[in-house]
């Protein structure tokens, strides 16, 4: 009966928006019964918010977010570094948008506490996490069928799959419609040669390259601002450590309030922290300075898409083809259907390849060579 009463009590408290468990990272349990049940942990709450913002920005992947946050001092309640899995769980937790999800009772209630993350940032993070899950599956795909699922059936619009022929002769890979539409099946080498020819046709025009450079410079400025923020945070940290070092020296040399052994211990530890903070601040300062190098590389990528694709690793091939044609391509008896290039590539002159045509999002008119 007591257990039952406890469960009822918990359910009732949750429905009033009260957090009834140990506080999640970034919060502390409130001791008072009036007011919010969770209060932001002044040290960790800003770091949790930062984790969401960094990941939502798309500029850092999960391991980079973890590295950055650990560097900024984020630790678990037991003072340990966060694992990749706990960061993942944190990024999935609706508590940070102020909700209480009780999986046990399949309920979700608005909490009585302040969220640490805005709804829109949270949604961006969820979308990125789901997309990454999908990418993982893709990387494990057969390297001999790089265009699988990137191509769609011209008749029924289903993503094409790949298989190996089971004939008497040597097995060869081919693409075909999962629903078995007629005339769609084709040998992988034929499809890939046609695709390579399409890539060959993507040629940047000089005036558009200048525009492209402007776009990259703009993205670079955003990245710079991020690095600058990091640098400031680590310099601040270095400053704090320096002050602590001074305090330890005073305690030992002037006040004589600590013994020699503690002094050496603390001093070594603090010097180590100082070196780390200074190093990271310097790294952040030097990062992203080679924008000309980056632009030269981008120009190279844009002008040599066909060669790059041909020589890329399977995972990079998929990345490149999706970057060039974000919506994939349709494949039918006449070859590729209308190709929608990415907005970066809509800035490029595209020559006609076979029976394919290239269309651009509204606002860009691609040039056609006769
Ligand atoms: Zn089909």
Four-CA torsion 112, 119, 223, 285, nearest 10 degrees: 10
Q: Which are the contacts of 43, defined by CB distance < 8 A and separation ≥ 6? A: 73
Q: What is the pLDDT of residue 5?
A: 65
CA of 357 to the centre of ligand 1 (A): 20
**Cα–Cα distance list, 270 to 43, 69, 136, 266 (Å):** 19, 19, 41, 6
CA of 177 to the centre of ligand 1 (A): 5
CA of 88 to the centre of ligand 1 (A): 37
Q: What is the pLDDT of residue 111?
A: 94
Domain layout of the chain by residue ranges: 2-139, 207-292
CA of 352 to the centre of ligand 1 (A): 25
CA of 181 to the centre of ligand 1 (A): 4
What is the architecture of the domain spanning 2-139?
A: Alpha-Beta Complex (3.90)
**Cα–Cα distance list, 39 to 19, 43, 48, 100 (Å):** 11, 12, 14, 14
CA of 133 to the centre of ligand 1 (A): 26
CA of 153 to the centre of ligand 1 (A): 5
Tokens 């468990």 belong to residue: 21
Q: What is the pLDDT of residue 92?
A: 93
CA of 284 to the centre of ligand 1 (A): 51
pTM for this predicted structure = 0.44
Q: Shortest CA distance to 104 belongs to which of 31, 20, 166, 169? A: 20
Q: Which residues of the chain have pLDDT under 70?
A: 1-5, 132-141, 203-205, 286-290, 294, 339-370
Q: Which are the contacts of 296, defined by CB distance < 8 A and separation ≥ 6? A: none
Other Cβ atoms closer than 10 A to 40: 19
Q: What is the pLDDT of residue 130?
A: 80
Q: Render pLDDT for 232-253 as a digit per residue (tens, 0 to 9).
A: 988 999 999 999 999 999 999 8
Q: What's the rounded Cα separation, in Å, for the pair 329 and 339? A: 6
CA of 176 to the centre of ligand 1 (A): 8
Q: Which pairs count as long-range contacts for 49-54, CB under 8 Å and 24+ apart, including other chains?
A: 49/116, 49/117, 51/87, 51/90, 51/91, 52/91, 52/96, 52/116, 52/117, 52/121, 52/122, 52/125, 53/117, 53/121
Sign of CA dihedral 19, 22, 26, 31: positive
Q: What is the pLDDT of residue 290?
A: 66
Phi, psi (deg, nearest 5) at residue 53:
-65, -40
């Amino acid at each position: 009966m007591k257990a039952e009463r406890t469960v009822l009590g918990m359910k009732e408290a949750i429905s009033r928006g009260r957090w009834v468990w140990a506080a999640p990272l970034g919060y502390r349990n409130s001791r008072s019964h009036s007011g919010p049940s969770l209060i932001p942990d002044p040290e960790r709450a800003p770091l949790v918010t930062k984790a969401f913002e960094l990941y939502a920005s798309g500029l850092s992947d999960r391991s980079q977010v973890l590295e950055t946050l650990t560097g900024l001092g984020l630790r678990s309640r037991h003072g340990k570094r966060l694992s990749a899995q706990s960061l993942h769980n944190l990024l999935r937790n609706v508590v940070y948008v102020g909700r209480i999800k009780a999986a046990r009772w399949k309920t979700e209630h608005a909490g009585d506490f302040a969220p640490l993350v805005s709804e829109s940032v949270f949604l961006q993070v969820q979308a990125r996490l789901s997309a990454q899950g999908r990418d993982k599956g893709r990387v494990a795909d057969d390297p001999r069928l790089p265009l699988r699922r990137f191509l769609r059936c011209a008749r029924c619009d289903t993503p094409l799959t790949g298989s190996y022929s089971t004939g008497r002769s040597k097995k060869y890979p081919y693409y075909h419609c999962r629903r078995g539409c007629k005339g769609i099946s084709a040998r992988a080498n034929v499809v890939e040669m046609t695709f390579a020819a399409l890539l060959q046709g993507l040629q940047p025009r000089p005036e558009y390259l200048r525009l492209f450079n402007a776009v990259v410079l703009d993205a670079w400025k955003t990245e710079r601002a991020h690095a600058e923020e990091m640098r400031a945070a680590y310099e601040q940290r270095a400053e704090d450590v320096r002050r602590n070092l001074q305090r330890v020296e005073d305690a030992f040399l002037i006040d004589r309030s600590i013994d020699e052994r503690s002094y050496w211990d603390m001093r070594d530890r603090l010097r180590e922290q100082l070196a780390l903070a200074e190093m990271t601040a310097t790294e952040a300062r030097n990062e992203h300075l080679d924008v000309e190098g980056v632009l030269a590389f981008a120009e190279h990528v844009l002008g040599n898409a066909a060669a790059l694709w041909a020589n890329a690793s399977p995972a990079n091939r998929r990345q490149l083809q999706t970057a060039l044609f974000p919506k994939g391509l349709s494949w039918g008896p006449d070859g590729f259907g209308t190709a929608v290039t990415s907005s970066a590539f809509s800035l490029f002159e595209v020559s006609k390849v076979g029976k394919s045509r290239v269309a651009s999002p509204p606002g860009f008119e691609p040039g056609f060579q006769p």
